[in-house]
Structure 1
């Protein structure tokens, strides 16, 4: 069953993320001035390029990072001038804390421009130092997500993380010292690594939830672009997707009752920010090289070239270089996908957002019910435990398709550097018409 579902989800995910080339974007859509948006910022710099990672990242060089942060702050000002206002911020990477002072200055700018309510940042264990954490807390950060991946020394060595970020024992000490700095301290973990066995996985769960009692833990299935998978064979071995479901069930069974799911792969010990900003925010704006946005039914991607990104911003243009409009049906599917990833779909909200929602998606919803993936509780559809497993599979295929798209974007870096005007995105003139009159 998993293999059949994987084939179907893989086909659909790759269709959604197959950005036509060149398909430049002339502008971002004008914002709805009556609402506040989710903002995603991408900081692509890393001191270690982990072999399993497919995200947009480059080796850290101080002069490049300083130039980049300057451009990122300018792009934030441009979004503000275009009329966008933000309530929540998610900073991903790369390693956003690679230059803490620059990140703090960037977050300070956001606080001046928008009524920010929450800020979530990603980091690595070596940045869990009191001086860095204090600086982030003072900059308004409410959630820190630490990329741990595993607490097995042998697996850390295979991932090239042992020498840079320390042994499992050292990582545990840093996590202990990070307690109390933020509302939410999340531990990002990976399951179904090639040489990860049940004992190693269960030990990770025990250390994080019973010994350290972190406020939030996220278990991602291993998911990378096809090119990354091929490179991983040299150091990490081949991924066996057939055992993914078994390992996920181990996680669900081993977690203490005090940890409750907030998404199919995120578990909270106490109330905290959901790990995936795309769950609670149907639309979001992404700024920075390699960032993606979803606005007005269109997916946008920014250039992966740092030089092209800097050049765009210097010229008063956003870094956007690709766009992919979604069909009406795909927009409904995306809405259902993300809501059920957050464990439930409110029927009234769905119908208000998309009139005729349940009639138009009747075949998909019937299929989910027949599979036992969702149950109908009257006012909402709720993901079952089996449905959580199905959604892990769906999201794995979705993000792997996004990773394959990132590979495509990396291949177009030279093309974008040499391109004259057509790929450049100009600042949109704010559209002050009431929402719904476009």
Structure 2
């Protein structure tokens, strides 16, 4: 560790950008969710799609090719077949997609049946991320999910038997009143359907959500920090015992080949383009984000104006700091040279090794499973 490395020199190879498209429509708003969405479509889908077309035309020269596409939301699977087909045709006409591109769609269990699976396959999707969140009725009710345990299980069974590609499951834990055994039992039920990717998110209370209001009113209490840390560790150990690699703080993959290539772009600091209301973009040095409103988004584009609501230009030190924070969230870690060779950092690295938070090998600082629990602490201490 003899010099400070720039973020651009980090050890990840240069790769094509990723494309994210935000579908801002949901059947109903879940109690915990702070992603931008509106309930129902209110006749806005055609206008939204036309605006997407206008926005995409603004970036054809600066983002010529992609090797990942992620259709997120909201609830993309709520779109009817004709509109979804038009959207995917437009994606191919807007931009060049590399051979073997990873193309992902988020889906609600309510929308998954044999007909929808065949539709997704025909449209070229290579991954489905199913928002199960729980296989316990009480947890689904607390979270305000629109599906039942039976609906989720039926959707998982359909994917297991009929979907020929990768599929992932999103789960939430750390719900008030949920014991470790309850959570791990829930997780085991999901694994029985053979997903090759699992995202396990610890419940957080975000401002503006129904849970935030209920929590402020004292209607429930979140688990304590020590108990939550125990759940994180138990989850990592449980997934490892079932053959899944813990490759990012909240993400597990059955093999390296089924890691989310799109999400890895965020953690690797690779450029990405976001289209749609509230979508974020990054070109390597500048980040910008769109209006958090379907109406304002469409109004801007119909007036031949970019729907950008805010932007920031990142300095080299900003980029390096972000590379440390993002990289230490993954099992790949960061290049050792990203960290200045100071006495304080050398002492901290030795302390981190002693406490088994990290390893130093092959010129990299690599967090252990225990270290992923305190990834932000590691990054703060080294920046």
Aligned with 2:78 (options 76, 85, 98): 98
Q: Which residue pairs with 1:252 in the alignment?
A: 236
Q: Distance in 2 between matches of 1:341 and 1:245?
A: 16
Q: Which runs of 5+ in 2 are unaligned?
A: 1-13
Contact 2:17/2:270, CA 8 A, preserved across alignment: no
Question: Quick check: 303-312 or 320-329, which moved more?
Answer: 320-329
Aligned with 1:58 (options 38, 51, 55): 38
Contact 2:133/2:171, CA 8 A, preserved across alignment: yes
Q: Which residue pairs with 1:305 in the alignment?
A: 293
Q: Which residue pairs with 1:47 in the alignment?
A: 27
Aligned with 1:89 (options 45, 69, 74): 69
The change in CA–CA distance for 1:236 and 1:48 in structure 2 (over 3 A counts) is farther
Which structure features the higher share of helix residues?
1
1:375 equivalenced with 2:355 (yes/no):
no
Q: Which residue pairs with 1:212 in the alignment?
A: 193
Contact 1:155/1:195, CA 8 A, preserved across alignment: no
Q: Distance in 1 between matches of 2:250 and 2:243?
A: 15
Q: Structure 1 runs of 4+ off > 3 angstroms? A: 81-84, 360-369, 392-395
Contact 2:247/2:332, CA 8 A, preserved across alignment: no
Q: Which runs of 5+ in 1 are unaligned?
A: 1-33, 352-356, 398-438
Query: 1:360 Cα shift?
Result: 7.0
Give the structure-2-normalised TM-score.
Answer: 0.83
Q: Which residue pairs with 1:192 in the alignment?
A: 174
Contact 1:264/1:392, CA 8 A, preserved across alignment: no
Q: Distance in 1 between matches of 2:84 and 2:342?
A: 42
Q: Distance in 2 between matches of 1:107 and 1:288?
A: 14
Query: 1:143 Cα shift?
Result: 1.1
Q: How does 1:35-434 map to 2 (within 5 A)?
A: 36-101=16-81, 102-112=83-93, 113-116=95-98, 117-161=101-145, 164-166=146-148, 168-179=149-160, 180-209=162-191, 211-228=192-209, 229-233=211-215, 237-242=220-225, 243-255=227-239, 256-270=241-255, 271-274=257-260, 276-277=263-264, 278-345=266-333, 347=335, 357-359=338-340, 367=348, 369-371=350-352, 372-391=356-375
Query: 1:294 Cα shift?
Result: 2.1
Q: Distance in 1 between matches of 2:341 and 2:170?
A: 36
Give the structure-1-normalised TM-score.
Answer: 0.73
Contact 1:287/1:319, CA 8 A, preserved across alignment: no
